[in-house]
Chains A and B, each alone.
Chain A
Amino acid sequence: MTNLLEVKNLEVSFKTFGGEVQAVRNVSFHVDKGEIVAIVGESGSGKSVTVQTIMGLIPTPPGKVKNGEILFQNKDLLKLSKREMQKIKGSKISMVFQDPMTSLNPTMRIGKQIEEGLIVHQKLSKTEARRRAVEMIRLVGIPNAEERYNQYPHEFSGGMRQRAMIAIALSCNPELLIADEPTTALDVTIQAQVLDLMKDLKEKTNTAIILITHDLGVVAETAERVIVMYAGMMVESGRVNELFENPRHPYTWGLMESIPDTNAAHKSRLVPIEGSPPDLFSPPKGCPFAPRCKYAMEICLSEMPPAFEIGEGHHSRCWLNDPRAPKVENEVAAGREKQ
């Protein structure tokens, strides 16, 4: 496999009245060709800001990329001119936003919206673009493509709009698709359709996908690798099978314990992570999760843990993984054994 995207030591912050919000802190990860990588984590942990930075969508000011590189096919996207970036966005990287209603143009026919990019970036003729647009509508599983081509967004249901967005994003055959909570507003049957479609595309066109979601079920069923973010940092990452089986960060344990067990015959109280995330104006010196962590040791408060390598491609930023740390039983796995 080859690296398609490599994000290195990315730091992004925003100047606000209250001070400087350190939204993304030293984030490094890569995405291979044709791979689906999920990003999960705390609300406000920097997931959207990370991918918006890749797309060159951070408003500056107030935002600022303070450090880092974003290598896409070995070219640093942060060093490109607006024009060059625009070109890549229309042809090699595209993005699906959480809310399809605000990102589609309500006064423009769906077909035309798909054609736009094809004509501007791919330099297709009008007839070719039209043929391709209809084909894309069909490909994303919307029946009566010819008819739908002429309709406006408000004539589409929520799930169809989301698929229309995906059609636009995919019409240029991108090498990387970024999907920020593409299914949060959809019911589970439509969600399953949309995810199937993305997996299908990956199979057929070898498109790599970065998928942001809150739903660990979606991660387990869709992604190959997963990145867990907390307070602007990557706290754990690894292959999905490995990370679900052997999670090694107390924040990841907390996430997994928070989901209700749908098979349980009796209701038990949910187990959230107590407390709230740190202030990103002045994040703590040590581990950002330490104040909420029931295993926190002295060192956790004073020193930032490094990314310990647990196994191949599996990293955890937690001092418990230091050989000198006491052994802590992973309660998630222990709970699963009991069942």
Chain B
Amino acid sequence: MSEALLQVEGMKKYFKIKKDQTVKSVDDISIEIKKGETFGLVGESGSGKSTLGKTIVGLQSPTAGRIIYNGVDVETLDKKSKINVNREMQIIFQDPYASLNPRMRVGDIIAEGIDAHNLAKGKARQDRIFELLDRVGLRPEHARRYPHEFSGGQRQRIGIARALAVNPKFIVADEPISALDVSIQAQVINLMEDLKKQEELTYLFIAHDLGMVKHISDRIGVMYLGKMMELANSYDLFAEPLHPYTQALLSAIPVANPKAAKRERIVLAGDPPSPVNPPSGCRFRTRCPHAMSICAEVVPAWKEVKPNHWTACHLYN
């Protein structure tokens, strides 16, 4: 694949929740997303996936670190270029019910970005709305309706049309299919794949459904408690997960076949530690079946253990 569209370097995003308490939601993460790729992001609930996505698209400012877009550090851009970069990066949210304003007509919802960026007016604006509706498989007359008149899958299409309206290059899809039944999930995924080809898009795709993430992603990153634990091509990650957390995660995928041989699930002991006070050394060590004494003392280095297959784990030192 080609050059990087986006480089995230040493990103940290901390939230102060009390005078003396800070949540390290994203703690020193570096990733590179290539032009035209779909980068999947999975991991523990509360591990910082949404925070990473929101910070990348500029909805939150990072506590530390750099975001390099098309080779340029976005912090160094002048105001006008920055607005342009913000336009090129869009986000689709999980909840197709809560993320659309119930009082606005679908056409105006889709045109929100067009209006904000002054991209079109009058007839051109109207035509653009119709074109976008068509692009996501909806009909022109839908523009006049309100969100509650649509099914979950249709609402998620409206969210996608709204994101596409401003000609983005990069889309963060944060659990875009979790609330939908499996058949509508398949519709939305197919639509996203088609649009990716037609519009030359790049995706960061966040989800808990590992089967879908594997299906849509070129590479997958695995997060645990604010850290990236493993990163590989999606086929390699499933064929040979290296990090004990990834192994546990993959072993817990339920199989839709009651006759399938009982799988060997790796049950993690204990509970996820608090992100306010994460364990020393490796953050996973308190639940890791292979923990050694070094794991409590030294933060494992991020290492390319096999070609293009990275992990942070003392087992591979």
A44 nearest CB neighbor, chain B only: B151
Interfacial chain A residues near B193, Cβ < 8 Å: 269
Do the beta carbons of A262 and B211 come within 8 Å of each other? yes
Do the beta carbons of A185 and B45 come within 8 Å of each other? yes
Interfacial chain A residues near B255, Cβ < 8 Å: 217, 220-221
A195 nearest CB neighbor, chain B only: B254
Say whether, besides A143-B270, A188-B253, A258 and B185 are in contact (CB < 8 Å): yes
Alpha-carbon distance between A221 and B259 when the two chains are bound, in angstroms = 9
Do the beta carbons of B190 and A159 come within 8 Å of each other? no
| Partner pick for A220 among B178, B181, B254, CB 8 A cutoff | B254
Say whether, besides A214-B180, A270-B215, A277-B151, A241 and B258 are in contact (CB < 8 Å): yes
Alpha-carbon distance between A232 and B208 when the two chains are bound, in angstroms = 28
Alpha-carbon distance between A213 and B238 when the two chains are bound, in angstroms = 25
Mask, B193-223, CB within 8 Å of A = 1, is: 1000000000000001111101100000000
Do the beta carbons of A157 and B183 come within 8 Å of each other? no
Interfacial chain B residues near A216, Cβ < 8 Å: 182, 256
Interfacial chain A residues near B144, Cβ < 8 Å: none
A256 nearest CB neighbor, chain B only: B256
Alpha-carbon distance between A255 and B151 when the two chains are bound, in angstroms = 17
Interfacial chain B residues near A219, Cβ < 8 Å: 256
Say whether, besides A43-B180, A157-B45, A187-B45, A258 and B253 are in contact (CB < 8 Å): no
Alpha-carbon distance between A270 and B216 when the two chains are bound, in angstroms = 10
Mask, A176-207, CB within 8 Å of B = 1, is: 00000000111111111101000000000000
Q: Least Cβ distance of B19 to chain A in Å?
A: 16
Do the beta carbons of A262 and B238 come within 8 Å of each other? yes
Do the beta carbons of A214 and B46 come within 8 Å of each other? no
| Partner pick for A259 among B151, B179, B182, B208, CB 8 A cutoff | B182
B270 nearest CB neighbor, chain A only: A143
Interfacial chain A residues near B248, Cβ < 8 Å: 189
Interfacial chain B residues near A189, Cβ < 8 Å: 44, 248-249, 252, 268
Say whether, besides A190-B45, A272-B190, A43 and B152 are in contact (CB < 8 Å): yes
Do the beta carbons of B190 and A215 come within 8 Å of each other? no
Interfacial chain B residues near A81, Cβ < 8 Å: none
Do the beta carbons of A260 and B256 come within 8 Å of each other? no
Give the size category of A's interface with B. 35 or more
Asked if A286 is an interface residue, CB under 8 A from chain B, the answer is: no
Asked if A68 is an interface residue, CB under 8 A from chain B, the answer is: no
**Best-buried of A18, A142, A215, A260 by chain B (most CB within 10 Å):** A260
Asked if B279 is an interface residue, CB under 8 A from chain A, the answer is: no
Tell me which residues from 220 to 275 in chain A have a Cβ below 8 Å from any Cβ of chain B: 220-222, 240-241, 244-245, 254-256, 258-260, 262, 265, 267, 269-273
Asked if B257 is an interface residue, CB under 8 A from chain A, the answer is: yes
| Partner pick for A159 among B45, B154, B184, B186, CB 8 A cutoff | B45
| Partner pick for A272 among B45, B184, B254, B259, CB 8 A cutoff | B184
Interfacial chain A residues near B238, Cβ < 8 Å: 262
Tell me which residues from 143 to 191 in chain B have a Cβ below 8 Å from any Cβ of chain A: 149, 151-154, 178-187, 189-190
Interfacial chain A residues near B316, Cβ < 8 Å: none
Interfacial chain B residues near A258, Cβ < 8 Å: 182-183, 185-186
Asked if B82 is an interface residue, CB under 8 A from chain A, the answer is: no
Alpha-carbon distance between A193 and B255 when the two chains are bound, in angstroms = 15
Alpha-carbon distance between A338 and B47 when the two chains are bound, in angstroms = 40
Interfacial chain A residues near B43, Cβ < 8 Å: 187
Tell me which residues from 107 to 164 in chain A have a Cβ below 8 Å from any Cβ of chain B: 142-143, 155, 157-160
| Partner pick for B178 among A160, A184, A259, CB 8 A cutoff | A184
Interfacial chain A residues near B258, Cβ < 8 Å: 220-221, 240-241, 244-245
Interfacial chain B residues near A221, Cβ < 8 Å: 254-255, 258
Interfacial chain A residues near B209, Cβ < 8 Å: 215
Interfacial chain B residues near A142, Cβ < 8 Å: 271
Q: Least Cβ distance of B194 to chain A in Å?
A: 10
Do the beta carbons of A255 and B212 come within 8 Å of each other? no
Interfacial chain A residues near B186, Cβ < 8 Å: 258-260, 270-272
Asked if A42 is an interface residue, CB under 8 A from chain B, the answer is: yes
Tell me which residues from 17 to 51 in chain A have a Cβ below 8 Å from any Cβ of chain B: 18, 40-45
Tell me which residues from 287 to 317 in chain B have a Cβ below 8 Å from any Cβ of chain A: none
A268 nearest CB neighbor, chain B only: B215
Asked if A307 is an interface residue, CB under 8 A from chain B, the answer is: no
**Best-buried of A254, A271, A273 by chain B (most CB within 10 Å):** A273
Asked if A276 is an interface residue, CB under 8 A from chain B, the answer is: yes
Asked if A218 is an interface residue, CB under 8 A from chain B, the answer is: yes
Interfacial chain A residues near B265, Cβ < 8 Å: 192
| Partner pick for B215 among A143, A193, A265, A267, CB 8 A cutoff | A267
Say whether, besides A258-B182, A273-B183, A143 and B257 are in contact (CB < 8 Å): no
Do the beta carbons of B180 and A241 come within 8 Å of each other? no
Interfacial chain B residues near A217, Cβ < 8 Å: 253-256
Do the beta carbons of B210 and A262 come within 8 Å of each other? yes
Give B residues with C-beta under 8 Å from A: 42-46, 149, 151-154, 178-187, 189-190, 193, 208-212, 214-215, 235, 238, 248-249, 252-260, 265, 267-268, 270-272, 274
Sorted from nearest, which 8 A-B pairs have the closest CB atoms?
A217-B254, A272-B186, A43-B152, A216-B256, A260-B215, A270-B186, A258-B186, A158-B45
A-B contacts, 11 of them at CB < 8 A, read A42-B183, A43-B184, A143-B271, A159-B272, A188-B208, A188-B210, A190-B272, A262-B211, A270-B190, A272-B183, A272-B187
Give A residues with C-beta under 8 Å from B: 18, 40-45, 142-143, 155, 157-160, 184-193, 195, 214-222, 240-241, 244-245, 254-256, 258-260, 262, 265, 267, 269-273, 276-277
* Contacts A195-B254, A217-B256, A259-B186 supplied; 8 other A-B pairs, CB < 8 Å: A188-B210, A191-B208, A191-B254, A193-B267, A214-B181, A244-B258, A265-B235, A276-B151
